Amino acid sequence: MMRHNPRKRFGQNFLTDRRIISNIISEIHPNKEDKVVEIGPGLGALTRPLLETLDHLDVVELDRDIVERLGKEFPEDKLTIHTADALKFDFSILGDNLRIVGNLPYNISTPLLFHLKQFARNIVDMHFMLQKEVVERMVASPSSPDYGRLSVMLQYCFGMEQVFIVPPESFRPIPKVESAIVHMFPLKQPIAVAEDEAFFSEIVMAAFSQRRKTLRNTLRDFLSPEDFKVLEIDSTMRAENLSVTQFVRIANHLIP
């Protein structure tokens, strides 16, 4: 098998630890009829064991050298390769009941998670390997140091849990950070419904724009002292103290 040199511009760190790979597959627990989509298959560390069970697998890969390599290794009736940037890929074209998996490039993980959010209705669940620090932010609770915009925006749509830690030595080249597996699943019933999701996102972004400042300062362009009283929210708190539901209440309150 020809050698592939990891490319920094694609954020490539290839998973090589067989025990970790086996644990990830066990956690995904694929059934042969499942509609699984792998983002960034790389050298096929997850692709091969997935195809031992699945009837068919879709993969999204930007690196044309890897696309060529995968095309030679797997037959077209088993593996469909979408040569595309996952940040721009329309996952809805693959239909519904998608199970999305992948060792996501850490340099684009946050924008990619926001991109996938818009396809929540097409998704059953997702299993990703991410930088541990990012996973901790995703699953963080209000009033904890890791709680922020990413926590609020993802928890609005998804239930999430950190499954297990992956040490740096499990990759080639060895990254400088620890990784973690996260399991995500769209909420059947949202915690609260934002009447305008784009405006809700704007409020959350403004609130966290200066983490150390109080809501009275960060949301002064949106909320008056009277608004805080009506909402029963203490204006001297910081954004990190508010729940997803409270952010939704603020956004909905401001819509005429």
User: Residue 124, Cα to own-chain centre: how many angstroms?
Assistant: 14
> Can you tell me the distance from the alpha carbon of 80 to that of 70, in angstroms, rounded to the nearest whole number?
10
For 200, the token pair is 């809700």
| Owner of token pair 């390599």 | 69
Whose CA is closest to 79, among 123, 116, 30, 44?
Answer: 44
What confidence tens digit (pLDDT) does each residue in 40-87 have?
998 899 999 999 999 999 999 999 999 999 999 999 999 999 999 999
Q: Does the pLDDT at position 176 exceed 90?
A: no
Q: Does the pLDDT at position 190 exceed 90?
A: no
> Can you tell me the distance from the alpha carbon of 57 to that of 43, in angstroms, rounded to the nearest whole number?
15
Q: Does the pLDDT at position 1 exceed 50?
A: no
- Other C-beta atoms closer than 10 Å to the C-beta of 2 total 7
Amino acid 82 reads H
Q: Does the pLDDT at position 5 exceed 90?
A: no
What confidence tens digit (pLDDT) does each residue in 119-165 have?
999 999 999 999 999 999 999 999 999 999 999 999 999 999 999 99
Provide the pLDDT for residue 7. 45
What confidence tens digit (pLDDT) does each residue in 195-224 have?
999 999 999 999 999 999 999 999 999 999
Q: Does the pLDDT at position 3 exceed 70?
A: no
* DSSP code, position 136: H
Q: Does the pLDDT at position 12 exceed 70?
A: no
Q: What is the pTM assigned to this prediction? A: 0.91
Q: Which of the listed CATH numbers 3.40.50.300, 3.30.460.80, 1.10.3720.10, 1.10.8.100 matches domain 197-254? A: 1.10.8.100
Helix (H, G, I), strand (E, B) or coil at 165: strand
Provide the pLDDT for residue 107. 85
Domain 8-186 annotated CATH 1.10.760.10: no
Rounded to the nearest integer, the mean pLDDT of the chain is 93
Q: What angle do CA 185, 102, 158 make, to 5 degrees?
A: 15
- Residue spans of the domains in the chain: they are 8-186, 197-254
> Can you tell me the distance from the alpha carbon of 120 to that of 96, in angstroms, rounded to the nearest whole number?
10
Burial of 158 (0-12, 13-18, 19+ CB in 10 A): buried
Amino acid 22 reads S
Section 156-176 average pLDDT? 93
> Can you tell me the distance from the alpha carbon of 199 to that of 252, in angstroms, rounded to the nearest whole number?
9
